[in-house]
Amino acid sequence: MPFATPIAYALDLSIVEESNANITLDDFIPQDVLVLSQTKKTSVIAQEEQEVPLNTPFESSSVILPIAEDMFFTYEEKIDSLSEKVAPFEEKLAEIESKITEPYNQIKQARVCSKANRIFNSISSDYSTFSDLITELQSYADEYVATLKDINNDMALLESIDPEILDPFMDRTNELANLFYQLSSYKKNVTTMYEESKQIADDFFNEYFDTCSRLATQEAGSKWLPSEDVYYVLNVVENRILSPKYPNTLLEVIHAPGQYGGKRAATCEAYEWVKQETTDYLRGRVETGMPSNVVFQAGFKQGNYTWLYMESSGHYFCGWK
């Protein structure tokens, strides 16, 4: 018997831009995928039975067998070559899934924008590698489907091959189909983690950008000031959000009595260059090196230690030890 079970595992492994929460196995299977029957007398394509013609032009087994053997060895070489190429993908995809899982869990706990986006940047880098692997794997899946269709078309001849030779080959073909099926689960899992992480990072950015751009323009928006002044001002704001001594939301920190000019910070028009600096900081592209206990930024010293004094702006960045 050529196949223990029908084959219907030609998977569409392509990476999608939009998430589909209702995705099912059927979404991975092309409509015209071949299904190899369990009998030796029929072959089925796209679920339609096609009887093998009784008046085959090869009436002599001495003529049929050499042709069938040539076909068999060609298909065997293709399937075995594909199996060899596809086998390493399980370890590669599993490694990336494992690398993304930890930051994925971390980003769900992030409380400030730059932290969430910095974590997402790490996920995005690994996801880019993952996408390249899936693209390569998809090319092998396409080749596999084409080979299966050719095998199906030639099954009448191939069934003249000794079952002790043909059956193990069919088993290997089934195993490759099952491997493609297993690998498709990595695509779904990793893509879900990537898209959920991206949503968290984008939500933070959309919440912070306008308010932080205005605040940074008010506090450090002069064109002669270095970008670091903007980064440090915003870092202090996030440090306060994380500190138990201050409110835990952006607006509550900025609009606290006596802090950041109150309503003036909300109405200040943001400069374009400050918007870019704010974007760089909030998107996690900047590492300031500022400790989490630096919660003051002013033209005078506060707390019990000074982390940094910026001569350009006259700002002291201070905190508590």
What is the rounded distance in angstroms from the CA atom of residue 129 to the CA atom of residue 92?
10
- Total count of residues recorded for the chain: 321
Encoded amino acid at 161, one letter: I
Q: How many CA atoms within 13 Å lie on the side-chain side of 310?
A: 22
Give the C-alpha separation, 70 to 75, whole Å: 9
Query: What pLDDT score was predicted for residue 67?
Result: 85
Task: Indicate the SS3 state at residue 317.
Answer: strand
Which of 27, 47, 28 shows the shortest CA–CA distance to 36? 47
* Secondary structure (DSSP) of 147-161: HHHHHHHTHHHHTTS
Query: What are the distances in angstroms from CA 9 to CA 160, 239, 312?
Result: 26, 51, 64
The Cα–Cα gap between 10 and 233 comes to: 54
**pLDDT tens over the chain, length 321 residues:** 333 333 333 344 443 333 333 323 333 334 344 334 333 323 323 333 344 343 333 344 455 678 888 999 999 999 999 999 999 999 999 999 999 999 999 999 999 999 999 999 999 999 999 999 999 999 999 999 999 999 999 988 888 888 999 999 999 999 999 999 999 999 999 999 999 999 999 999 999 999 999 999 999 988 899 999 999 999 999 999 999 999 999 999 998 888 886 656 667 899 999 999 999 999 999 999 999 999 999 999 999 999 999 999 999 999 999
Residue 264 CB coordination number (10 Å): 11
- H-assigned helices in 87-162: 89-107, 113-153, 155-158
Looking at residue 87, what is its pLDDT? 96
CA 31 to chain centre: 26
The span from the CA of 284 to the CA of 204, in Å, is 11
Strand partners, 44: 35, 49
- CA dist 229 and 235 (Å) reads 10
The pLDDT score that the predictor gives to residue 65 is 75
Dist. CA 38–CA 170, nearest whole Å: 11
Pairing of the two strands 294-298 and 305-310: unpaired
- Can you give the pLDDT at residue 266? 65
CA separation for the pair 268, 218 (Å, rounded): 7
CB 116 within 8 A of CB 107: yes
Q: What pLDDT, on a 0 to 100 scale, did the predictor assign at position 262?
A: 62
> Which tens digits make up the pLDDT trace of 98-144?
999 999 999 999 999 999 999 999 999 999 999 999 999 999 999 99
Closest CA to 198 of 278, 94, 108, 111: 108
Residue keyed to tokens 């099926």: 181
C-alpha 299/C-alpha 312 separation (Å) is: 11
Q: Helices 163-220 & 227-242, crossing angle to 10 degrees?
A: 100
Edge to edge, the sheet with strand 315-319 lists 294-298, 315-319, 305-310
Residues contacting 164, CB < 8 A, separation 6+: none
